[in-house]
Structure 1
């Protein structure tokens, strides 16, 4: 995402269909910011080398309707910027 941690936080907080949890294998669509969740104990330098910047958002798509997921992301991104 363009911007930084503030925009990422707004997007994460702004979604309604996606669930903010780091587990994998759920039937629900999930959204997380790996730099703060799954890679929080990795050094910033190694995260950057691995492509896990503060503005990265990871989506895991579940069984919800595609149009609902897209609309949810679009409204959250609009509100973040």
Structure 2
């Protein structure tokens, strides 16, 4: 799941509108809309705020399962060499 999909899912799971989330994060509703549609990406400060609000790490927020799976394969391959 990409960041934009994850953000939207998290917001909806909290029964929040884009406007409500924007107020909590001190950003505009337009910013939330851009992030959720994939037309924009939050700054590192905004990522920190989003992660804190949803009680998760930035890694959990931005890493897709595909990236994690690829990293696990790379680690397994590296371990085989040693």
TM-score scaled to structure 2, two decimals? 0.28
| Structure (1 or 2) with the larger CA radius of gyration | 2
Q: Which has the higher strand share?
A: 1
